[in-house]
A and B are shown apart, each in its own frame.
Chain A
């Protein structure tokens, strides 16, 4: 009697336990069965190179380039990973992979301000085994310098960018004015043209640039500071120089003569697209932007002022010299990549004279090889490159430091705060920013 009770008891218990166990296993199985999820298959033969890039403005040109490469290198397939458009977001994505020592990063784009950071952190592979000194000479010196950290090169420049001054050729001609050389001239010209045009019912502003709180703000402000003979980092002491008179004056000039005066207050919300939109809708006389804007401004399908655009060096402040902020994109090789040789083949292909010429002709991208600026085809397709070549020799890189992103955030905060309020204490804020930047520089020098 007892035994049968026991047995039935056990059966009931084990039934419960069995059912519960089955339940749990079932639900977990559900999980795994349901998630069929296919993984990206690697090609059967040859090497697959992962190329981390952003979405290009003209994807067709890139498709052609990839095709040519894969045809000439049948043993390599390119796996593209497209990152976010903004330089900062692209940077964050790249860092996320590289700081976890990802082996699947073979070739990647670097903004001109990253090589120091990527080199110090050991993310970009040093390129001297592949990139000979003779070859380096073919490239623009400033671009190579931006890729150098502690004497070693970590990237190959592919595209170079510079801040340029765009202006309405037709309006300047109408009022018989020459492109301005100093900012005071520009302000005077802008005020005059705006006054004359608005009196006839036209609605137009003087100047459009990028003053939102982002990296582009640093580029725009740096051009004013450098154009006044100032610096962000004093090359002699290695410390922050924002509190020195030329730098403070330049910032005050922007706050008092540009924002809300010849430039609409909205420029404080503009990145490149919005500021360019204002210009190509015919609502600004002067405009500061990178060379890419030339093609768009002269395209009748996209611009109301096609054919009426002029391009020139940026003006400077009294007593200074014109300096543009150096921009551009370089190609780096992941330090944990297992296909460095193949990666170099892609890098040297993309930066070869042939392909750079293709980019210059078909998408208006400024090449980094000096010789191409004497190439007849290139100059015919992009007449504004003539002014560019001159600007490149005076283009100035932003501070090169492994902690540049942090430094840039301090600069962005300082600039944005100071130019958006008319009563801001510029000198005080500059000193505060100085302190923070010096602290960061000290960290990096340990």
Chain B
């Protein structure tokens, strides 16, 4: 009885999660006339025209490349910085720890519309509009709070006497950090990395403002701009969305064990 209950719940959860997405995938395989058929058609004709069109006419792979570069760099940079700061905040003795953590958290509360204007102005002054770094830097700032909090929380679970054991062995501060702590941090790093990557991958508002040249636009902006002046190419949007989501699905499927393990900070309890 319990097993059936569980099975039904699981099936429902999976079904609801995937249904809208499958509907979109099905749309991407229809012909132009079928897409807006009234009433809707469930089984598509199986046409790949929209995929061809979105790649050839709409330069989809190009946006994919840009997204990979921006999201990848952001993840790398944020994780590096968050590792350092998270370690310091979690395990070293500093005054004002609460203030710093709180300050970082406050950053996640800033409305995008407030900070976008001045950020845009700064980037314009530095000539960094329509460059990769112009988008990566604000993204790093926006993802730092989450990264630091996750990694700090993870570090906190490690045994308290690690540093002392290292010191007894004669390690300096940096050696302790790199040789002992870092390898243990890998699971936490994975979690933070995937969260940050997905955030940077999905972000739309800043990307729209900062990247106005097609050469640098990321996927969300690129796909949003599929629309012409009066046309809404549902088919191409559906095809592009399918392709856009695949790398993430792949990543998540591959690393899901690690991600979850990273979240279970208690796994390292002595």
Interface residues of A (CB under 8 A from B): 15-16, 19, 23, 27, 30-31, 34-40, 52, 54-57, 59, 79-86, 93, 96-97, 100, 102, 203, 272-274, 276-278, 281, 283, 290, 292-293, 296, 301-302, 304
Contact = CB atoms under 8 A, between A and B. Distances in A.
B162 interface: no
A30 B80 CA distance: 9
Contact of A82 (B76, B127, B130, B225): B225
Q: Main SS of chain A's interface residues?
A: mixed
Given A35-B133, A40-B213, A55 B227 contact: yes
A293 B130 CA distance: 35
Nearest to A85: B227
Contact of B228 (A19, A55, A278): A55
A281 B37 contact: yes
B209 interface: yes
A301 to B, nearest CB: 6
B174 A19 contact: yes
Interface string B179-190: 000000000000
Given A23-B174, A273-B232, A281 B76 contact: no
A56 B124 CA distance: 27
A424 B23 CA distance: 38
Determine the interface band of chain B, counting residues with CB < 8 A from chain A.
Answer: 35 or more
Given A34-B76, A35-B133, A82-B214, A56 B36 contact: no
B231 interface: yes
Contacts, number: 105
B174 to A, nearest CB: 6
A283 to B, nearest CB: 6
For the complex of A and B, 6 pairs with smallest distance between CB atoms: A85-B227, A35-B133, A273-B232, A37-B132, A272-B230, A277-B36
A84 B225 contact: yes
B33 interface: yes
Nearest to B81: A27
Contact of A39 (B121, B131, B231): B131
Contacts of B229: 54-57, 85, 292
Interface string B17-39: 00000000000000011001110
A278 B38 contact: yes
B77 interface: yes
Contacts of A302: 32-33
A37 B131 contact: yes
A102 B124 contact: yes
A290 B214 CA distance: 28
A84 B208 contact: yes
B84 interface: yes
Given A85-B227, A278-B38, 15 more contacts: A30-B77, A34-B73, A35-B73, A35-B136, A35-B137, A39-B131, A54-B228, A55-B226, A55-B227, A81-B212, A81-B214, A84-B208, A84-B225, A100-B124, A273-B230
B2 interface: no
A340 B267 CA distance: 66
Given A39-B131, A59-B57, A84 B80 contact: no
B43 interface: no
A35 B84 CA distance: 20
Contacts of A81: 212-214
12 contacts: A15-B172, A16-B173, A27-B84, A37-B133, A56-B228, A81-B213, A83-B212, A83-B225, A85-B229, A100-B124, A273-B227, A278-B38
A15 B173 CA distance: 11
A96 B209 contact: yes
A23 B81 CA distance: 11
A56 B225 CA distance: 10
A301 B32 CA distance: 7
B120 interface: yes
B215 interface: yes
Interface in B97-129: 120-121, 124, 127-128
A23 B230 CA distance: 54
Contacts of B232: 273-274
B248 to A, nearest CB: 22
Interface in B120-168: 120-121, 124, 127-128, 130-134, 136-137
Nearest to B215: A40
A110 to B, nearest CB: 13
B237 to A, nearest CB: 11
A46 to B, nearest CB: 19
A274 to B, nearest CB: 8
Contacts of B208: 84, 93
